[in-house]
Amino acid sequence: MKKNFLIKQYLSDKKMKIRHNYLSEQFKNSKKIFKLINDTVKFNDFTLGRYVDLFEKEFCKYQKVKYALGVGSGTDAIFLSLKALGIKEGDEVITPTYSFYATAGAIATTGAKPVFIDVKNDLNIDEEKIEKKITNKTKAIVPVHWSGRICNMKKILKISKKYNLHVVEDACHAILAHDDKKKLAGNFGITGCFSMHPLKNLNVWGDGGIITTNNKKLYKKLNLMRNHGLINRDNCKLYGYNSRLDTIQAAVGLEMIKNIHYITNSRIKNAMYLNNNLRTIKQIELIKERNKFKSVYHLYQFYCEKRDKLHNFLRKNKIDSKIHYPKPLHLHNAAKKFNYHKGQFYNAEKLSKKVISIPVHEFITKKQLDFIISKIKYFYKQK
């Protein structure tokens, strides 16, 4: 039997002294969460129970939206949004070629073709290249707020309005991120899609996702689709899917969302400290932020020379360096059937060879940050 490849990764990452994985620290004292889980056992409402309702209401407050639905994952959030909007086989959906595989996967599993667009130096979709890829088959745009940095939604919405396209935001990295008008990620498109994977800024103890919308009609349809299309136990209005946020995960989310402002501010503070100390290294290029935009640093990334050697050097020094991601989406085997090829998206291919990620979460200490900085400076022979 083929083993789960993730277990080997977890064991390898565990050896790092400064890790991306901070769950042991985050859940060291989990009495309140276990109390809610015990209540779930008493109530026996494991699927779409009372804590799901409560969590959805809390999420609406934080994200300033009318409706929120807990679903199985961030991937499901994108997939269900597209299906609810009628995306089907033969349609085309525009999305960046630099993202996690789930973005393209959610599009492809609707039957539609992911139409990839190159990215800018901030790793977000290049909005200036969208219009040229629109055809009579194009039905939607899925921009990705990569690492918690908001795309140029003003331009994207202008294009979507001109061509009557749906905008489904992949905001899986971007809870509490906002633009210069303080409009939050997930509030621009017809839906916003959020992930609560264990290493997201707002996380639970497994997979979980949230769809947000201000459209009542779409909310009602999505509410059916996530739960087999059931109006009640005995009546099915449409054939839907099984993608419900578990009540146990909603209980975890209820406790974790109380800390989301602290988590966000800590990540921003750590990122700014790293920026201030790494900007003097000539072999490093920092990712520029837009003025008055709030990035929430799901990942802290920069571009560098000798990336792979630096990556290995940091890991040898027990710093959990990662590469998110070494290969754009159009170069994976899964995309071969769409006839993409190497050299098609210059910037994504170039940046994917230079980008590196280092830990930035709320449990990183100043001493640890200084250790990371010192090792990077040593690698580049800078005092």
Q: How many CB atoms lie within 10 A of CB 140?
A: 24
CA distances from 41 to 11, 44, 49, 50, 366 (A): 31, 5, 11, 12, 41
Last residue of a domain, one of 258, 273, 307: 258
Do 146 and 97 fall within a single domain? yes
Do 296 and 254 fall within a single domain? no
Last residue of a domain, one of 258, 287, 310: 258
Do 350 and 240 fall within a single domain? no
Phi-psi region of 274 (alpha: psi -120 to 50; beta: other; left: phi over 0): alpha
Can you give the pLDDT of all 383 residues of the chain as single tens digits? 667 888 888 888 888 999 999 888 888 889 999 999 999 999 999 999 999 999 999 999 999 999 999 999 999 999 999 999 999 999 999 999 999 999 999 999 999 999 999 999 999 999 999 999 999 999 999 999 999 999 999 999 999 999 999 999 999 999 999 999 999 999 999 999 999 999 999 999 999 999 999 999 999 999 999 999 999 999 999 999 999 999 999 999 999 999 999 999 999 999 999 999 999 999 999 999 999 999 999 999 999 999 999 999 999 999 999 999 999 999 999 999 999 999 999 999 999 999 999 999 999 999 999 999 999 999 999 76
Do 248 and 268 fall within a single domain? no
Distance CA 315, CA 217 (A): 50
Tally of structural domains, the chain: 2
pTM of the model: 0.96
Report the candidate in 222, 219, 215 with the shortest Cα–Cα distance to residue 238. Answer: 222
Last residue of a domain, one of 237, 258, 279: 258
CATH code at position 321: 3.90.1150.10
- Residue 291 structural domain: 5-21+259-379
Do 274 and 246 fall within a single domain? no
